[in-house]
Structure 1
Amino acid sequence: MPNTPNDHAKAQLDYQFDQDDDEINLGEVLGILLDSKWLIIGITFVALSLGVAKTFLDRPVYKADGLLQAKENTQSLAGLEPLTGLIDGKTPVLAEIELIKSRMILGKTIQSLHLDIVAKPKYFPIIGEAIARQFEKRNPDNAVANPLFDQIHYAWGGEAIQVDTFAVPADWEDEELILQAGKQGHFKLIRDDEIILEGEVGKLASMQLEGEKHSVSIFVSLLKARPDTYFTVMRQSKNQAIRNLRNSVSVTEKGKNTGILELTVESHSPDAAVSIVNEIANIYVQQNVDQKSAESQKTLEFLEKQLPIVKDQLEAATVALNEYRTRQGSIDLDLETQNILKSAVELRTQITLLQQKRDELRQRYTESHPTIISIDKQIARLQSQITAHDNKIEVLPETQQVILRLSRDVKVNTELYTTLLNNAQTLRIAKAGTIGNVRIIDYALLPDEPIKPKKLLIIGIAVILGIILGIVTAFVRRLLNRGVEDPHLIEKQLNIPVYATVPHSKSQKALYGKLKKPASSRHYTPVILALENREDIAIESLRSLRTTLHFAFLEARNNIIMITGPSPNIGKTFISVNLAVVMADAGKKVLLIDGDMRRGLIHKPLGLGRDNGLSELIFDAIKIEEAIHHIPQANIDFIPTGAIPPNPSELLLHERFGHFLENISAQYDLVIIDSPPILAVTDAAIIGRLASATLMVVKAGEHPMRELEQSTRRLIQAGTRLKGIVFNDLPQVSARHGYSYGKYVYQYSYKKGK
C-alpha cells in the first residue's frame, strides 16, 4: 500500500542529528576569513591606531654606557713587588658587578647628583606630556609655554625646573607635593591644597611646621614657566631612590673572563643618563683605590705600633752588652761561636717576623685560617732549630755564653728594627701610589637617539596582533553564530530537499535603495530584479527552481504554492515576486497573492498600493476583478493584502477564502501565495493546508538548526505539504560551516504598512 503524504511527512520528523567529523577544511577556513575580511581589517586598523598612539604617548628612554676594566691583581709601583704578598689583590668579576650595584655606590651617586629629589612639570593626563614634547621638539629655544594649550595649571611645553635641596619630614617622603609657579621667580609649595611655604628662585626657603619639630626647606635654582603652572616635587626615601636607580642600572661583562665591564643606565633624560654613568664609574674607581689604600694603612699602623717596641728592645740589648763588656773587659768570639751567633740571629729574626705577620693576619682571620696554621708550623720548625742552637751554646764557657746571648739580642733587634723601618717606608710609598685594580676605559657619551619606544617594532607588533585578534574574533563570532550556512547540512539533518540555493545579489541590494524612495519619484514602476537584471545569478537560481517545481507538480492536487519562512527579513517576498516573474517568462499565467495580512509589502516593489485586496475579497466587499492588478512589465497578476484586518487568522479560516482559492486557481497556471513566517503566527499553517506545495525560505547563516526543526515540525503537523527549502542569500564566497543546537530567541512584530 503506497504511503500517504501525511505518512511521508511524519517520516520526515524521524531524523537524527549527526555530527560531522572533526576535520580541518582549508576551504572553510579561507571562507570564514573572506566573509570576515572587513571585521579583520577594522580590528587591525584599531590595533594599528593604538600602536601609533603608544609610540606618540610613550616617553622616550635614552641609554648611556661606559666601559670599566677590573684587573685581577693590584698593580704596585715598580720595586714594591715584595709588598704584594701582604695584600691579596684578586677580586672576582662577579663581585665587582655586585659592588657597582651596591647601596654604597648607588647611595653616593644619589647623594652627589640629588637623584632623591624628583621635580617635573605637571602635564595634562595621558596626552599632555606628548604634546609638550612635540612643542619642544619644534621650538627647542622657546622660553615661553605653548600658547595653543594655555590651560591653567598644566604644563604644555617649554617649562623647566631644577631643585637642588628639598628636605621634608620622614612621613612626607615618597609623597608628591605641588609647586605652583608665580610671577618674577616666586613660587608656592602646596600639600593637600594647603600652602606650606612661599619662596623665590635662587634663595633657600624653609618653614617650621606648626606643632612639630620638623621643618620643610627647598632651594629652587631654576624655574621657567608661566604663572600658575603646576610642578610636582617629591623627596624620595633612600631605599626607594636606590631601588629606582638600581632598576635603571645594568652591569655586564663583555666576553668571557675579559674583566671588561659595560655599565649602562636608562633614563628619560639623556643628560641624566650620561651623568649617572660617569658618576657611578668615578665613585666605583675611587672606592676601589680607597679600599686598597685602607689595606696599606692598616698594615702601616701595625708596623708603626711595633717600631717603638722593637727600638726599646734594641736599646736595652745594646746597653746590656756594653755594660757586660765593661765589667769583663773586651772579649773576642772565636769563629765557631760567631757562626752559632749568626745562625741564632737569623732564626730569631725569622721567628719574630713570622709572629708579627701572624698578629697582623689575626686582625682579619681566625685561628683556623689556613694561612695562620701554615705560619704556626713555620714558627714551630724554627723554634726546634733554635733549641738545637741553644744546646750548642750551653757547652761553651760561661763568659762566651753571656756574650753570645747579649750579642744575639742586639743583632736580632737590629735586624728586626731595620726590616720594620724598610717595610713601613715601603707601605708609605705604596699608599701614596695606590691605583687600585679597576680603571675607566670609556666615559659615557650623550646618546643621539632614544632606544625606546621602538616605533617600527611597536607598529609591526600592533599590526600582527590586530590581524591575529581579528582572525580570532572572526572564528569566535562564527562559533557563537548558530546559523546554518551549509544547505547540505539541512538536507542531512531534516531529510527535506533543498530545491534551490539563491546567491546573494548585489543588484538587489541596489534595488532596495530605490524602494526607499517615495513612490511618486518612482512613477509607480515595478522594481523587480527579474526585470532589471535578467542575467543575475540569483535569477538563474530561480530558473533552476522553476524546473524543479515543474516536476514536483506532476502529481499535485492543485496549482497553488505557498511560500513561507521561519522568521521575518529572510527574503521571502523577494523569492515570491521574482519566482512569479520567472514563471511568467516561461509562458505561465501566474497570479501572485500577498497573503501576509499583517505586514505584507509585495505591493511596494510592484509600484502599487495595498487597497482593494485579499481582505476585502474575503469580506466579500469587492469583486475579484477589482482586486486583481495586472503588471504588464512582469506579465503577472497580483492581489495585495488589502486593508489590514484586526483578525487575520480568523479571516483566513473563513470558508470564503477556501472557495476563493479554488475558483481563482482554475483561471491560472500557477498561484503563488506569500504567507507570514510560520514561527510568528498560524497564518502560514492555515494557508498551507489549501496549497499543494509549500516552500520554506531559509536565509544563509540566519537560523539555528533547532529553529529550522521547529518550523518544519509546525508546517507538517498543520497538514501542509512541505515540498522543499529555498536556501536564500548565500554569500558568493561563503564559509561552509556546521553549527550545533542552541537556544534561540524569536521575535516577530507587525507594523501597519502603506
Structure 2
Amino acid sequence: MTIDSQNSAKTAVEKEDDEIDLMALLLALLRGWKTILFFAILGLLIGILYSRYVNPTYKSEALIQIDEKSSGISALGGDISELIGAEDSKAQAEAELIRSRMILEPVINSLHLRIHLADPEVGAIDRIVNDRTNTAIHTPEGVSLTTTDGQASISQFNVSQGYLNQSFTLTRSETGFTLSNELDEFKGQLNKPHQFKGTDGQIQITVNDLPDNSHAVSLTKQSLQKTTNTINSALSVVEKGKQTGIIELSMTGNNQQQTSLILKEIVLSYVGQNQSRGTEDTTRTLEFMETQIPLLRKKLEDSEAVFNEFRTKYGTIDVSQEAEILLAENSQIDTQLSELKLKKADLTTYYTDEHPLVIQINEQIAVLNARKQKIDNTIAGLPEVQREFLKLSQDTEINREIYLNLLKNYQQLQIAKAGQTGFARIIDLPINTFDAIAPKKLQIMILALLLGGMLGTMLVLLKNLLRNVVKDPERLEAKTGVPVIATIPRSPLLTRLRKKNKSPNRLLAHVDNDSLSYEAIKSLRTNLMFGMPVVGKVGERAKVILITGESPGVGKSFISSNLTEVFSQLDKKVLIIDADMRLGELHRMFDMTPDNGLGDYLAQQIELAKVIHPTSIDNIDFMPRGQHPKNPSSLLSGDKFEQMMTELNEHYDYIIIDSPPILAASDAMIMSHYADKVLMVTRYDQSVEGQVAYAIKQMHKADIQVDGIVLNDVQQGLMSKYSYHYSYAYGNNS
C-alpha cells in the first residue's frame, strides 16, 4: 500500500469517526439487547423488592378556618367592643404558628412521642417477605409495639440530658426486665415505676409488658427538637387558595390511626391556644375591674354615711334653682371624668402616654376639670351649709354612678367572655381512610424497569464507544491498511455441537460441510492459491502460510485446520504445524496428542520424522506443539528451525503454521520470515479494532508484510449492518 493511499484511508477513518452514525448506534443497541434486558429485569426486581421493603404510607387531612376577628364581642354592642382591642390574624402566620413548639410540645408530651420503640430483630428479608412491619403505637397511656413474640408496652421513660437520643436494649427477665446500653445495665419489675442512676444521669421508667423468649426491643428517648423536626417533616400546613383564610393540614405516617390521632391532637392544641389568646384581653380587663369594684363600693358607702349624718344634723335644705343646675352639671362632669379615667386606665395597659388616644383623653379630662373648677368657684358663693349639702350630695351621687357603671360593665364583660371562641374554627377533623398513598407499586415497578433499561442502554452505548470491536470489513481495511481477504460466517450447527460437547472433531468437513462457513474457507483457499508466487521464499515447491491473530480466542486454530483440510482436497501434500509451543490446542482438532512435536525437536536431539505424524485425513501430516520449552522465541531464532523449514519444503506442497498471537509473543514475527503469506485472523464483534491495528503495526515495524485479514465468526441477522458480507452456499444447505 502506498503512502498516498494510507493517508487517504486515514483521512476517511478520521472523517467517519467525527460523524455520528445513528444507524450504527441503533444496531449497537439491538446487538446489546441481552444486556439491556438483563438490567431491565434487574431494575424490575429491585423495584419489586423495594416496594415490599418500604412500609405503606397513609395520609390524614384536616381543615381550619381563620376569621379576621372574634364575633362574640361585636354582638354585645360598640361600648364593650371599645374596651377590648381587636387583633387581626393572617393564615400564613397561623400556619407557621401551628408548626411551632408551642403547639407541638403539648401533643408530644400527651402522646409520649419522644419515646421511640423498635424491633431490631426485623431485618431487610423479613420486611420484604412480610410486605410490611409493625410500628410503635403512641397513646396517652403510653407506647406499645407488637412483635412476633408478644407486645412491648412502656408508659413512662424519662432520662437526663446525657441519655437523650441514646439507644437502650430492653428484654424480659425472670424477675421483670433488663434495661442496658453500652455502659449501663439496670434491672426492674414490670408495672412498677423505677428510677435508676447511670453513668450519664437519671432514668425513670415504667415497663408494662415485654415479648417472651428474650426478644429484645430497642428503646430511645428522643430530644424535643428531634421529635419536633420529625413531626414537621411529615406535617404540611398550607393556606388553601389565596386569601381564603382556610388552612389545610395534612400528615403522613406508616399507621393510619396513629397519624390521624397525632394530627387531631395538633388541631385541638392549636385551637385551644387560639381560644386562650382570644380571651386574653377580656380576662385582663375583668381582673382590673375586680380590683376596683370593692374600692368603689367602700367609697360609696362612706360618702352615703357622711351625707346621711349631715342631713340628720341639719335637716333637709332647699337649694335654689341655680344651685340645682350647677349641682347637676357638676355631677355630669364628674361622671364623664370617671368614664374617661376608666378608659385611660384600660388604654394605658396597651399603649404609652404618648399614644394619640391617650393624649386625646387627657385633653378631654383637662377641659372637664376646668369647667368643674369654674362651677366649684360659683358654688363657693353659696351659704356654707348649702355648700356642704351640695358637696356631700354630689360626692354620694358621683360615687353611686361610678360604682353602678363599673358593675354594669363588669357583668357585660363576663357575658362577652363566655361567648368568645377565638378566631380559629375547626372545619374538618382528620378521619381514617386506610388508603395508602405510597408506595405506588405499579409506578415503582414501571420506573424501575425503565431505569434498568436506561442503565443497560447506557452501558451498551458506553461499551460500544470505548471498545470499538471489529464489525465492518471496510472500516477495518481503512484503519489497518490491510485488505480483508475472507469473511468466515459462524456455523450454527458447529456452535450447537460445541455447547453440547458432542463434537470431538471440529473440522467443518466432518460436521457441517454444506454450510456457508465451509464455502468461505474454500474461497479463502482460492484467494491464497492465486495470490501466492510460483516459487516460495524458502524452497522451490512448498508454499508456506503463517496464520496468527492479534490476541487469543480469535479462532486461528479453527481457520488453520480447516484451511489445511480444503488444501488437501487438491491432492496436495499438506503439513500443518502447531507452532504455539505455550498454549497450542491444535491437536484437539485432529483428535491427537500434543506429544513429540515442535518443542521436542527444537529443544532435544530428535529426528524430524519422529515429530511429524500422519492424520486420519489423506494428504495431511501434523506436527504438534510438543513439550513446553523455557525459551520458545530463542529456539525459533536458531539454525535448527531454519534447517527444519528447508527440509520440510522438499516434501510438502503446502505448509500451514499456526503461530501464537502477535500481542502475546514474538514467535509469529520470527516465523513470518519463512512464510509466503502472512494472515491475521480476527474475530467479529469481539476483537478490538485498535488491537488489530496495533498488532499489524508491530509486524510492519519488524519489516513483515501482513498479506490479508481473515474476519472469523461473522454473524448474520437483521441486527448486523454488515450482513451483506456473507457468501451464499451453492447447493444443498439443509
TM-score range, shorter chain: 0.7 to 0.9
- Residue of structure 2 equivalent to 1:112: 110
Structure 1 residue corresponding to 2:443, chosen from 445, 457, 460: 457
The Cα offsets for residues 257-285 of structure 1, whole Å up to 9 and x where unpaired, read as: 33332333333333322221222222222
* Cα shift at 1:42: 2.6
Judged with a 3 Å threshold, the aligned counterparts in structure 2 of structure 1 residues 108 and 461 are, in CA distance, closer, same or farther, namely same
Whole-angstrom CA distance in 2 between matches of 1:649 and 1:674: 14
Judged with a 3 Å threshold, the aligned counterparts in structure 2 of structure 1 residues 408 and 130 are, in CA distance, closer, same or farther, namely farther
- Residue of structure 2 equivalent to 1:435: 421
Whole-angstrom CA distance in 2 between matches of 1:96 and 1:136: 35
The Cα offsets for residues 293-352 of structure 1, whole Å up to 9 and x where unpaired, read as: 3321101112233334555665677778889995993113349x83x7766665654454
Structure 2 residue corresponding to 1:377, chosen from 335, 343, 360: 360
2:149–2:213 contact (8 Å) kept in structure 1 = no
1:39-438 aligned at under 5 Å gives the runs 39-76=35-72, 79-82=75-78, 83-85=80-82, 86-128=84-126, 157=148, 159-182=150-173, 186-192=176-182, 195-200=185-190, 203-209=191-197, 216-223=203-210, 225-311=211-297, 329-334=317-322, 338=325, 349-367=335-353, 372-380=355-363, 383-384=366-367, 387=370, 398-399=381-382, 413-438=399-424
- Residue of structure 2 equivalent to 1:33: 29
1:123–1:156 contact (8 Å) kept in structure 2 = no
Whole-angstrom CA distance in 2 between matches of 1:136 and 1:166: 21
2:636–2:671 contact (8 Å) kept in structure 1 = no
* Cα shift at 1:425: 0.5
Matched residue type, 2:97: L
2:565–2:620 contact (8 Å) kept in structure 1 = no
State whether structure 2 residue 657 is matched by structure 1 residue 673: yes
Matched residue type, 1:285: V
- Residue of structure 1 equivalent to 2:139: none
The Cα offsets for residues 576-599 of structure 1, whole Å up to 9 and x where unpaired, read as: 2333445566x5746251241514
1:597–1:645 contact (8 Å) kept in structure 2 = no
- Residue of structure 1 equivalent to 2:725: none
Identity value in percent: 28
Judged with a 3 Å threshold, the aligned counterparts in structure 2 of structure 1 residues 650 and 333 are, in CA distance, closer, same or farther, namely same
Judged with a 3 Å threshold, the aligned counterparts in structure 2 of structure 1 residues 571 and 67 are, in CA distance, closer, same or farther, namely same
* Cα shift at 1:94: 2.0
- Residue of structure 1 equivalent to 2:138: none
Secondary structure of the residue aligned to 2:408 is: helix
Judged with a 3 Å threshold, the aligned counterparts in structure 2 of structure 1 residues 584 and 78 are, in CA distance, closer, same or farther, namely same
1:668-747 aligned at under 5 Å gives the runs 668=653, 670-700=654-684, 702-703=686-687, 707-732=691-716
The Cα offsets for residues 112-139 of structure 1, whole Å up to 9 and x where unpaired, read as: 12222233433244334555776989xx
Matched residue type, 2:23: G
Secondary structure of the residue aligned to 2:607 is: coil
TM-score by length of 2: 0.81
State whether structure 2 residue 598 is matched by structure 1 residue 607: no
* Cα shift at 1:77: 6.9
Whole-angstrom CA distance in 1 between matches of 2:628 and 2:439: 70
Q: Unmatched 5+ residue regions in structure 2? A: 136-144, 538-542, 723-734
1:521-600 aligned at under 5 Å gives the runs 526-546=505-525, 548-549=527-528, 551-553=530-532, 557=536, 559-582=543-566, 589=572, 591-596=574-579, 598=581, 599-600=583-584
The Cα offsets for residues 506-542 of structure 1, whole Å up to 9 and x where unpaired, read as: 434334346x56xxxx7x7x43235433454444544
Structure 1 residue corresponding to 2:495, chosen from 509, 524, 528: 509
Aligned residues: 691
Matched residue type, 2:197: L
Q: Unmatched 5+ residue regions in structure 1? A: 1-6, 138-153, 738-754
Whole-angstrom CA distance in 1 between matches of 2:5 and 2:606: 40
Whole-angstrom CA distance in 2 between matches of 1:620 and 1:195: 85
Whole-angstrom CA distance in 2 between matches of 1:343 and 1:308: 27
- Residue of structure 1 equivalent to 2:540: none
* Cα shift at 1:609: 4.3
Whole-angstrom CA distance in 2 between matches of 1:409 and 1:543: 141
TM-score by length of 1: 0.79
Matched residue type, 2:14: Q
The Cα offsets for residues 208-237 of structure 1, whole Å up to 9 and x where unpaired, read as: 53899x6543223344x2231212223333
* Cα shift at 1:373: 1.3
The Cα offsets for residues 167-197 of structure 1, whole Å up to 9 and x where unpaired, read as: 33332232222221245x9323334375412
Secondary structure of the residue aligned to 2:587 is: coil
Range with greater deviation from structure 2 (472-481 or 618-627): 618-627
Whole-angstrom CA distance in 2 between matches of 1:333 and 1:159: 97
* Cα shift at 1:74: 1.0
Range with greater deviation from structure 2 (277-286 or 652-661): 652-661
Whole-angstrom CA distance in 1 between matches of 2:493 and 2:463: 27
The Cα offsets for residues 365-419 of structure 1, whole Å up to 9 and x where unpaired, read as: 3445xxx313423542564476468668867893399688887766655444333
1:177–1:191 contact (8 Å) kept in structure 2 = yes
Whole-angstrom CA distance in 2 between matches of 1:645 and 1:122: 61
Matched residue type, 2:124: I
Judged with a 3 Å threshold, the aligned counterparts in structure 2 of structure 1 residues 123 and 210 are, in CA distance, closer, same or farther, namely closer
